[in-house]
Amino acid sequence: MRTRLQIGWTPAEPTPLDEAVDDQIRRARALLEGCRIVALTGAGISTDSGIPDYRSPGAPTRTPMTLEMFLSSPEFRRHYWARNHLGWRHMDGAEPNIAHRALTDLQRQGRLTGVITQNVDMLHTKAGTRRVLELHGCYGRVRCLGCDWLISRHRLAEHLEGLNDRFSERVRGRGAIEVAPDADAAVDDTSDFTMIDCPNCGGIVKPDIVYFGESVPKPTVEQAFSMLDDADALLVVGSSLTVMSGLRFARHAHRTGKRLVIVNRGATRADDLADLKIDHLASVVLPALAA
């Protein structure tokens, strides 16, 4: 299906790159000089790739998917999958921006040891970064909650397209569709959409993504702490650190005496812990750090 998609928001205008920001970037270079850096990234690094976020200045108020909502009823899951069937290709078609590529450059220079990302968009991998730990999973896999059966999102889309020709044609006739940060398309009438259950056990299938209300798997958390313990500095990029899944790493870095540099538009919950906070776009600051 080739449905035209549109982003439902306009990012806030960036803070001008003035002398004060230039000075902060120089200070960040000095703080990170000679350090083995681990980056912790959030949605703010991907906004320049056309993927809106939930909390940056100018972003509209949205309600993210929760596990309770997803499990609440078969009707809600059908509605969710219908919207996702239309919207996920927007995320799949997104390309890494200059901030993602700057982290890859830092890694090629031997300065960045890995990335811990809260994003599910796979853009770090597309940018060629190695040792990327996806805290919240990724959009490209779908998993059965009963038996752990796994299928790629591309393969599932092929199955769903064959079952939903009329739905796709009807929606395609509407023109552009608004897409939210989690690839959820704004479509209200989804009563004619058909979703599949797990062909292995008949269980509920769900994107391999940690929803709000879920916990990050313990082995993933342990691996993230191990990556941080092997580094000298934590570079937080594009995350407000609102949820504990990211905040705990900033707190751990501070507690263990590691350098903590934050690059984010707007306040974060770890601003008071940081050695340096730069309130600016990742696509401006990171290339300067990698230069």
- Retrieve residue 93's tokens: 């078609």
What are the residues facing 133 on neighbouring strands? 116
138 is in an annotated binding site: no
144 is in an annotated binding site: yes
- Retrieve residue 169's tokens: 């044609």
Which of 196, 129, 197, 136 is closest to 162 using CA atoms? 196
| Separation CA 215–CA 206 (nearest Å) | 15
Q: Is 136 considered catalytic here?
A: yes
The catalytically annotated residue of 85, 100, 124, 136 is: 136
3-state SS, residue 118:
coil
The residue type at 140 = G
DSSP 142-210: EEETTT--EEEHHHHHHHHHHH-HHHHHHHHTT--EEE-TTS-B-----TT------TTTS--EEEEE-
198 is in an annotated binding site: yes
Query: Is 136:246 a contact under the CB 8 Å cutoff?
Result: no
- Retrieve residue 205's tokens: 């299938």
DSSP 41-65: E-GGGTGGGT---SSSTTPPP----
Axis crossing angle, helix 153-163 with helix 74-93, rounded to the nearest 10? 120
Query: Is 8:180 a contact under the CB 8 Å cutoff?
Result: yes
- Retrieve residue 12's tokens: 């806030």
Handedness of CA 91, 235, 22, 11 (dihedral sign): positive
List, by residue number, the catalytic residues.
136
Binding residues: 144, 147, 198, 201
**Residues that constitute the known binding site for Zn(2+):** 144, 147, 198, 201
